[in-house]
Chains A and B, each alone.
Chain A
Amino acid sequence: QVQLVQSGAEVKKPGASVKVSCKASGYTFSNHEINWVRQAPGQGLEWVGWMNPNTGNVAYAEKFQGRVTMTRQTSINTAYMELSRLQSDDTAVYFCAREDGSGWYYFHYWGQGTLVTVSS
């Protein structure tokens, strides 16, 4: 069965960077884009960006341009999202999600989420 398993919670100081991993299993990793979505406490879902595991191509939401980097290690079916210059409003649960569909797009499989807390 398809699974996305994320790394554990992180606590970072303002100005630091965090790297979250998302290990895929149960399907061919290179066949589906991995998206990252975050949710601040009490807030809605916010799309961060996507990465094509086959080509390494990425697209980031404008507000994260210059601060986010999405990469992958195909040998271990793992995607990564690194966010730099963290501020308190980056405190959120970060989810990875597998993109499906053609013509219409959806996220059927999600990771369990990784809580990133930014605090001095």
Chain B
Amino acid sequence: SSELTQDPAVSVALGQTVRITCQGDSLRSYYPSWYQQKPGQAPVLVFYGKNFRPSGIPDRFSGSSSGNAAFLTITGAQAEDEADFYCHSRDSSGSHHVFGTGTKVTVL
């Protein structure tokens, strides 16, 4: 399968922790990358690989993987974290890419 499935929406209280899940067969072979996208903007890389966070991304963003699932955790969510989040990986064949279905995060 070349699909990556995410929960459509999650909400989190300000300052609390939220975990976004991404599921797909390709995650057994490839580490995912994660993107935050705010309305009208290009996606921004927030986490990738086994344990990498791009420069400038707050350390409240972290990632992990287990089997066919990957997780992006926001520890101590801030109002500015409200956005759509997408996971991504190579597909199972390794020659194409695939994005997750996206999760809308609302900070209450």
Question: Taking beta carbons and an 8 Å cutoff, which residues of A are in contact with B?
Answer: 35, 37, 44-47, 50, 59, 61, 95, 101, 103-108, 110-113
Contacts and interface: CB of A to CB of B under 8 A. Distances in A.
Contact of B33 (A61, A105, A112): A105
A114 to B, nearest CB: 11
22 contacts: A37-B99, A44-B84, A44-B86, A44-B100, A45-B35, A45-B37, A45-B86, A46-B99, A47-B98, A50-B97, A61-B96, A101-B49, A103-B31, A103-B49, A105-B30, A105-B89, A105-B90, A106-B45, A107-B33, A107-B45, A108-B45, A110-B42
Interface in B73-108: 84, 86, 88-90, 95-102
Interface majority SS on B: helix, strand, loop or mixed?
strand
A44 B50 CA distance: 24
Contacts of B33: 104-107
Interface of B: 30-31, 33, 35, 37, 42-45, 48-50, 54, 84, 86, 88-90, 95-102
Given A44-B101, A104-B50, 16 more contacts: A45-B37, A46-B99, A47-B96, A47-B99, A95-B43, A104-B31, A104-B33, A105-B30, A105-B90, A106-B33, A106-B45, A107-B88, A108-B45, A108-B54, A110-B43, A113-B42
